[in-house]
Amino acid sequence: LDGLITPNGLAFSPDGRTMYLSDSHPSVQNVWAFDYDTSSGTPSNRRLFVDMNAFPGRPDGAAMDVDGCYWICGHDAGLVHRFTPEGRLDKSLAVPFNKPAMCAFGGPQFDTLFVTAIRPGGDLSDQPLAGGVFALHPGVCGLPEPSFAV
C-alpha cells in the first residue's frame, strides 16, 4: 500500500472480508477500511473509515469485537475508542496512563480487553501506572486474532 508513513491498527471484521488499517503518524491520523479477499489475501477499495484528527489521541493498536466494532488506542489521550462498522464513535474508555499502545481481547470468553501502556521517559507522577498491561471489562466480547497459513 502506498502513502503510509506509520502503519498500525490492523484488524479484520468478524467475517474477514473487511480489513482495517491506520496510519499513526501525526500528519495523517486516519483509519481506512478495505475490501479483503480472504482467498488471495489481497486488500482493495481503500476508503476512509475514521479521521482520527476529529478525536482525542493518535490511532495506535486495534482489535475487533463480535459486533464488528473496531477498538483503537487513542495514543497521547489516555483513551481506547470503539467505532461501529459505520465508523461512528460508540464509546471511549479512559485508562490511567497517557499512551495506550495496543489492545487485544482475551480471557476464556474473550470478554477482557487487555491494553498495553508505553512508559515514556521523564516525570511520571501524573501517570505512575504507565508501562503496564491493564485488563478492562468493556461489556462486549472480542474476537480472537485471525490465524493464517504461510
Q: How far is it, in rounded angstroms, from Cα 114 to Cα 104?
A: 5
Which one of the listed residues 35, 37, 51, 60 is annotated catalytic?
Answer: 60
Residues 143, 99, 4: CA angle, nearest 5 degrees: 70
Respond yes or no: is residue 60 known to be catalytic: yes
Q: How far is it, in rounded angstroms, from Cα 34 to Cα 139?
A: 27
Q: How far is it, in rounded angstroms, from Cα 38 to Cα 72?
A: 23
Active-site amino acid positions: 60
